[in-house]
Structure 1
Amino acid sequence: MAYASQARVAGRTGPEAPIDLVQLATNTLGNRDLEVQVLHLFKSQSSSTLDRLMSESDTSVRLDLVHTLKGSARAIGAERVAVVCESLEQMMTAHPDAETGGLTAAVDEVNAYIRDLLES
């Protein structure tokens, strides 16, 4: 993952990007190999978390899944996903069957960005 690859991701760097690459670099102490590993891990974990969230009926488990995803998103600099998770946690407290479509869309956007970033 070179600096040039960041600029090639559909021109999406800076504040409008789904991942704050500066935050990611800070959290991984600038270790590029670790960045790649963490991004792969998020992509895998977020997909399986969404699958589990859709099939889970226990509210406390669903809340735990969303909360865990929020922390993972913050770790890679995916603040929009973290904010959506935070809102969903609050909604699920009052309405256990709250709609998760917004979270799915946010995660899909981040995972597409990760795919583009790692393929560059």
Structure 2
Amino acid sequence: MAPSSMARVSGRAGPEAPIDLVQLATNTLGNRELEVQVLNLFQSQSSSTLERLAMETDVLVKLDLVHTLKGSARAVGAERVAVVCETLEGKMKTSNDAATEGLVAAVNEANSYISELLEG
């Protein structure tokens, strides 16, 4: 298949989708190969970030991890993940033990959706 945006070939696009495929296509100039690479990178990085976040004790390092994940999420169109990161950043600035369950759920949802996109 010639490079084309997943946004044009996926039937699961829409405001309820965990990944905004139009935003992804815009950020990758509609290059499907680049979209696949970026999505794979996000899956890997987000999973690794969650693992590091669970083990980290330094609040500043945790803040940096969440902030970096927020930027990555926005780059692939995972706006729910980005919003959860933004909220978590605010909570982490006032509490050393801010809960990350919401972030884990949002990342898992986005990564499941990405897996469906890439396999289908």
What range is the shorter-chain TM-score in?
A: over 0.9
Residue 85 of structure 1: aligned partner: 85
In structure 1, the gaps of 5 or more residues are none
Which letter does structure 2 place at the counterpart of 1:45?
A: Q
Q: How many angstroms does 1:40 deviate by?
A: 0.1
Map 1:1-120 → 2, pairs under 5 A: 3-4=8-9, 6-7=10-11, 12-120=12-120
Q: Which has the higher helix share?
A: 1
The 3-state SS of whatever aligns with 1:14 is coil
CA distance in 2, matches of 1:96, 1:51: 18
CA distance in 2, matches of 1:72, 1:107: 11
Q: How many angstroms does 1:13 deviate by?
A: 1.8
Which letter does structure 2 place at the counterpart of 1:101?
A: E
Q: How many angstroms does 1:96 deviate by?
A: 1.6
Which whole-Å deviations, capped at 9, do the CAs of 1:55-78 have from their partners, x for residues lacking one? 000000000000000000000000
Instruction: Choose between structure 1 and 2 for higher RCO, CA contacts under 8 A separated by at least 6 residues.
Output: 1
Percent of residue pairs bearing the same amino acid type = 70
TM-score normalized with structure 2 length: 0.93
Q: How many angstroms does 1:97 deviate by?
A: 1.0
Question: After the TM superposition, which parts of structure 1 deviate over 3 Å for at least 4 consecutive aligned residues?
Answer: 1-4
Q: How many residues align?
A: 115
The 3-state SS of whatever aligns with 2:106 is helix
CA distance in 2, matches of 1:71, 1:97: 22
**CA-based RMSD:** 1.1
In structure 2, the gaps of 5 or more residues are none
